[in-house]
């Protein structure tokens, strides 16, 4: 009986795993236009657009006209294209006017349907449209920004666009799905003293009534969402790389602050020209700094737009962190000039092809030229306050361990779903998987695959299958089969390491989850790496549930996931763990950071007590390595936030300070001559962490330096500004709050402004919390920053309850400032700082009554996060108590 049972269980398990795997490997096909998802019929394909727009800045409207050359592939009776918030008041086909009754706009479906009087035969035809639209306040479609000009008190206005994912249709009627590539030729009328920028160089400028008419050259065939138009009182600096003119464009008085970005983009352009084997194809490449509208950056072909604080660098006043931010963002966006623009994903279900790849390529290039930044490891405080870590892999794995995750490749049916696809899984799991795949196939083989892919698909669209095919050809390995588990199923594995009594080592894999009971079991092909500490590393493609490595000495430490390059966790049994702890001084920083991250994840998952993590941290040899120290600063920070209001918090803070103080004492307050930029960044992290942990010396030191700074701004080194201001803000009285606010109002530097308002968001006095929140309703900050301010307050003040009450009362005004990509996330994200079960129900009720259905996935994530925090808070408090008591007795 027992034998039988022993036989049947594995058989059943094998069968289940086989079924799972065959489900997963029902893979997609290479790109095929006719089979690409989307709403628009495929019979009619636009090939060339000629667009003319005349914006009216007095009433924020636009008058436009366009002619579209159509290739009709089979006869049709109607034309169906995208338009949203546009009024089409005239249409003609091949010069024949359609009656107004033939023009139907459906704002709900975002479609424009033109009924034709007779059948339109296959062949080339011309559609002409006349339309009016509007200029938006938030960063979608065509939008305006008000800003204060550098070196003057004048308030100015300028225009910009943001089309990805589905907002080109707000600017002009178009076939607004990525597979419909066409040439776009734009003409715009702007005030005479303005500079207008688009994807291509200016072909002709002429005076017209009300300003000047600027005509841009026609683009190569590309997707509609990559169009760009920016205009205002702008300045530029420029240089040349081979045949490409490169420029940084900013509002008047700020162009010189683009010097660093200009130099970085020259370096990056040469690297990519070489890496991709296809040189950058347009005559010019602009990096455009805009003072609002949206928070990030957008890879419009030939005219990349950036929120100005991620492009402009002031050598006297900007921090080392800002410098790194700029390099990384520029490298990411420029990678899109190939991956995204030259070759574009066929549909939004493959968005990861754009974003995962650009994230990986950008990091690879950044690390190549700036190894000291520890790009793959260091925390880099995320700009978005709702993100817990800046390390791509960790951020992706945190979300991917939950019940609310999704596969990298996911079905996308609607515009709202397309906008929701821009998440950590798409960007960061994509990046992390590509890094693992590159290290498995080898750098040269991987690049050979990319060369083939670029050459085969330039000026066209692709699916993930096309990339795997190119990599399979280059490597002679079945990449699609390895990749399927990582891109087509959710989650990732933990590999368990077990030492048997006879000294043999056994690996086994299972799905790693956090706060997710009864998760369906899954299996991966894991490109596993391991080494006996001090020895060389071995790669093993683990295709089954278990594997047995050979020749591991029983008395030597074994480290899996060498350099942390793999997208999986590792859980060691007690003997293996003890050997590793003894070998810690011999581990490189990548491996020690990887051990710390995995140990912390095991604690979150409830697979290990917090003593596993803290025991490791306490055993680390003293060091001022940035990545290693920031890993536990980040964890202590999270614990400190979670423990708000609990009785264990004070004891915890004392303990946490004792862990961080020795490193701060080594570094000291003042930068030392010739120290590495990383020391400056670590010092900054320690000041803000110790400030949060209520360290009296740090609080007094920050106040003293702030007073000096008020008298002499140069007295505070750029790296220390953000943390010192944050500590001062946290413990501010009304008078100090007012001073910080005044400084924020006055400055024209986006970076300084951000530091001041971030400091305001830290204030914990409820009266001041409310004062900070009220700023979000004014136009003191660019729209995207104003809405972030509320999230900042929710996190940094320790009073998410006040922030939520405020947001609830003003939701309509706040949502009007959020761009398309943020709309679904905004309200749910304000809940993730709660650790009280009842808030989960409150969010659900609120969403049912007030939020569109499209927010459901984000709401589910927030509910899961609240539940996780509630459970973890109780468990953590008790375990910390025991650990700290024991330590104090030691």
Of 249 and 358, the one with the shorter C-beta distance to Zn ion is 358
CB of 345 to Zn ion, least distance (A): 12
**Crossing angle of the two packed helices 766-775 and 783-796, in degrees rounded to 10:** 160
Cβ-contact 55, 62 below 8 angstroms: yes
Closest CA to 872 of 577, 613, 631: 613
Write the CA distances from 385 to 380, 660, 758, 761, 826, integer angstroms: 12, 23, 10, 11, 12
- Report which secondary-structure segment, H or E, holds 874: helix 856-889
- Least gap, CB of 358 to Zn ion (angstroms): 5
Q: Which residue is nearest to Zn ion (CB)?
A: 358
Comparison of 66 and 355: residue with beta carbon closer to Zn ion: 355
Closer CB to Zn ion, 340 or 782, in the complex: 340
Tokens of 296: 């990030």
Distance CA 249, CA 173 (A): 28
x/- string (CB under 5 A) for Zn ion, residues 112-141?
------------------------------
Torsion angles phi and psi, residue 499, rounded to 5: -100, 120
Three-state secondary structure of 358-426: HHHHHHHHHHHHCHHHCCCCCCCCCCCCCCCCCCHHHHHHHHHCCCCCCCCCCCCCCHHHHHHCCCHHH
Q: Do 6 and 471 meet the contact criterion of CB atoms below 8 Å apart?
A: no
Distance separating alpha carbons of residues 604 and 492, to the nearest angstrom:
16
Residues in 144-203 that interact with Zn ion by CB under 5 A: none
Q: How far is the CB of 337 from Zn ion (least distance, A)?
A: 11
Q: Which 8-state DSSP code applies to residue 752? A: H
Q: Which of 246, 253, 216 is nearest to 232 (CA)?
A: 253
Q: What separation, in Å, do the N-terminal and C-terminal C-alpha atoms of the chain show?
A: 52
Residue 85 CA, chain-centre distance (Å), reads 28
For residues 316-375, which are near Zn ion according to CB under 5 A?
A: 355, 358
How many of the other CB atoms lie within 10 Å of CB of 792? 24
Of 329 and 620, nearer to Zn ion (C-beta) is 329
CA atoms within 13 A on the CB side of 309: 24
Shortest separation between residue 162's beta carbon and Zn ion, angstroms: 13
Specify the residue, 356 or 491, whose C-beta has the smaller distance to Zn ion.
Answer: 356
Beta bridge partners of 528: 540
Q: With contacts defined by CB under 5 A, how many residues of the chain interact with Zn ion? A: 2
Contact set for Zn ion, span 687-706 (CB under 5 A): none
Of 358 and 614, nearer to Zn ion (C-beta) is 358
Q: List binders of Zn ion among 30-59 (CB under 5 A).
A: none
Tokens found for residue 302? 């030939």
Which bin fits 292, alpha (ψ -120 to 50), beta or left (φ > 0)? left
d(CA 425, CA 491): 10
Return d(Cα 743, Cα 809) in angstroms, integer.
Answer: 28
Task: Please state the closest distance from residue 334 (CB atom) to Zn ion, in A.
Answer: 10
Would you say 358 or 627 has its CB closer to Zn ion? 358
CB of 444 to Zn ion, least distance (A): 26
- How crowded is residue 60: how many other Cβ atoms within 10 Å of its Cβ? 17
The residue from 43, 177, 213, 333 that is catalytic is 333
User: What is the spatial distance between Cα 833 and Cα 642, in angstroms, rounded to a whole number?
Assistant: 8
Peptide bond into 795 cis (omega under 30): no
User: Taking the complex as a whole, how short is the minimal distance between the CB of residue 419 and Zn ion, in angstroms?
Assistant: 14
Distance (Å, rounded) from C-alpha 632 to C-alpha 652? 14
Strands 234-241 and 244-251: antiparallel
State which residue, 288 or 358, has the beta carbon closest to Zn ion: 358
Nearest to residue 337, comparing CAs of 402, 287, 373, 372? 287
Cβ nearer to Zn ion, comparing 81 with 358: 358
Least distance from Zn ion to the Cβ atom of residue 169, Å: 21
| Least separation in angstroms between CB 136 and Zn ion | 22
Judged by CB under 5 A, does residue 437 bind Zn ion?
A: no
Phi-psi label, residue 735: left if phi above 0, alpha if psi -120 to 50, beta otherwise: alpha
Report the C-alpha gap between 552 and 569 in whole angstroms: 20
Q: Which is nearer to Zn ion, 389 or 431 (CB)?
A: 431
3-state secondary structure of 104: strand
Report the site for Zn ion in 734-793 (rule: CB under 5 A): none
Contact 684/713 with Cβ under 8 angstroms? no
The question of whether 510 is a catalytic residue gets the answer no
For Zn ion, the closer CB: 431 or 835: 431
- The residues carrying an active-site annotation are 333
Residues that bind Zn ion (CB under 5 A): 355, 358
């Amino acid at each position: 009986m027992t034998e039988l049972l022993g036989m049947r269980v594995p058989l059943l398990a094998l069968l289940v795993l086989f079924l799972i795997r065959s489900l997963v490997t029902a893979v997609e096909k290479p790109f095929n236009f006719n089979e690409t998802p989307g709403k628009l019929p495929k019979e009619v394909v636009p090939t060339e657009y000629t667009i003319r727009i005349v914006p009216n800045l007095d009433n924020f409207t636009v008058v436009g006209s366009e002619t579209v050359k159509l290739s009709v592939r089979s006869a049709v009776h109607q034309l169906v294209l995208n338009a949203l918030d546009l009024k089409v008041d005239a249409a003609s086909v091949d010069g024949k006017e359609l009656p107004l009754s033939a023009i139907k706009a459906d704002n709900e479906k975002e479609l424009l349907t033109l009924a034709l009087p007779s059948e339109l035969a296959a062949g080339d035809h011309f559609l002409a449209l006349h339309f009016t639209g509007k200029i938006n306040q938030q960063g979608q479609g065509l939008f305006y920004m008000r800003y204060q000009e550098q070196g003057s008190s004048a308030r100015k206005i300028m225009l910009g666009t943001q089309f990805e994912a589905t907002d080109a249709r707000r600017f002009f009627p178009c076939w607004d799905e990525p597979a419909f590539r066409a040439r776009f030729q734009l003409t715009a009328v702007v005030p005479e003293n303005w500079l207008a920028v688009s994807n291509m160089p200016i072909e002709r400028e002429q005076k017209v009534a009300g300003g000047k008419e600027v005509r841009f050259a026609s683009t190569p065939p590309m997707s509609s969402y990559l169009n760009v138009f920016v205009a205002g009182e702008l300045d530029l600096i420029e240089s040349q790389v081979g045949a490409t003119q490169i420029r940084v464009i900013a509002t008047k008085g700020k162009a010189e602050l683009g010097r660093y970005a200009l130099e970085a983009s020259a370096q990056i352009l040469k690297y990519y020209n070489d890496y991709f084997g296809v040189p950058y194809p347009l005559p010019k490449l602009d990096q455009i700094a805009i003072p609002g509208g949206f928070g990030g950056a957008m890879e419009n072909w030939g005219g990349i737009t950036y929120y100005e604080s991620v492009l402009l660098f002031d050598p006297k006043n900007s921090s080392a962190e800002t410098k790194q931010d700029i390099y990384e963002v520029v490298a990411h966006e420029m990678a899109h000039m190939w991956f995204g623009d030259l070759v574009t994903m066929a549909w939004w279900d493959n968005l990861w092809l754009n974003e995962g790849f650009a994230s990986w390529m950008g990091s690879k290039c950044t690390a190549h030229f700036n190894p000291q930044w520890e790009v793959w490891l260091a925390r880099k405080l995320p700009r978005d306050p709702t993100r817990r870590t800046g390390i791509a892999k960790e951020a992706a794995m945190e979300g991917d361990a939950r019940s609310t995750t999704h596969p990298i490749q996911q079905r996308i049916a609607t515009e709202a779903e397309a906008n929701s696809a821009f998440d950590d899984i798409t960007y960061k799991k994509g990046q992390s998987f590509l890094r693992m795949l590159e290290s498995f196939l080898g750098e040269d083989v991987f690049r050979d695959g990319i060369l083939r892919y670029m050459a085969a698909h330039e000026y066209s669209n692709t699916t993930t299958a096309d990339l795997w095919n190119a990599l399979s050809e280059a490597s002679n390995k079945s990449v699609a089969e390895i990749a399927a588990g990582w891109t087509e199923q959710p989650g990732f594995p933990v590999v368990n390491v077990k030492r048997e009594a006879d000294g043999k080592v056994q690996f086994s894999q299972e799905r790693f989850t956090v706060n997710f009971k009864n998760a369906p079991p899954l299996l991966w092909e894991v490109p596993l790496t391991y080494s006996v500490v001090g020895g060389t590393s071995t790669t093993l493609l683990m295709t089954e549930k278990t594997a047995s490595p050979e020749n591991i000495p029983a008395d030597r430490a074994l480290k899996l996931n060498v350099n942390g390059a793999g997208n999986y966790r590792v859980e060691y049994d007690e003997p293996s763990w003890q050997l590793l702890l003894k070998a810690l001084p011999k581990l490189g920083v990548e491996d020690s950071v990887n051990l710390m991250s995995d140990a912390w994840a095991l604690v979150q998952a409830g697979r290990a007590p917090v003593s596993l993590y803290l025991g490791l941290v306490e055993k680390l040899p003293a060091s001022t390595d940035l990545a290693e120290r920031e890993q536990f600063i980040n964890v202590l920070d999270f614990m400190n936030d979670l423990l708000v209001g609990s009785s264990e918090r004070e004891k915890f803070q004392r303990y946490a300070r004792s862990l961080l103080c020795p490193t701060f004492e080594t570094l000291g307050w003042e930068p030392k001559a010739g120290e590495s930029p990383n020391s400056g960044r670590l010092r900054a992290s320690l000041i803000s962490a110790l400030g949060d942990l209520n360290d009296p010396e740090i609080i007094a030191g920050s106040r003293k330096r702030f007073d000096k700074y008020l008298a002499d701004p140069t007295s505070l080194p750029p790296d220390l500004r953000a943390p010192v201001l944050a500590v001062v803000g946290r413990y501010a009285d009304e008078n100090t709050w007012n001073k910080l606010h005044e400084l924020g109002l006055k400055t024209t530097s986006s970076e300084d402004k951000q530091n001041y308002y971030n400091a305001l968001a830290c204030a914990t006095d409820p009266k001041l919390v409310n004062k900070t929140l009220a700023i979000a309703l004014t136009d003191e900050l660019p729209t995207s920053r104003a809405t972030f301010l509320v999230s900042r307050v929710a996190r940094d003040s320790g009073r998410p309850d006040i922030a939520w009450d405020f947001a609830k009362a003003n939701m309509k005004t706040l949502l009007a400032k959020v761009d398309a990509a943020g709309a679904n996330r905004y309200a749910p994200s304000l809940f993730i700082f709660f650790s009280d079960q009842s808030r989960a129900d409150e969010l659900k009720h609120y969403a049912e009554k007030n939020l569109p259905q499209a927010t459901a996935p984000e709401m589910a994530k927030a509910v899961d996060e609240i539940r996780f925090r509630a459970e973890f808070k109780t468990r953590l408090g008790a375990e910390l108590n025991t650990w700290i008591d024991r330590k104090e007795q030691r």
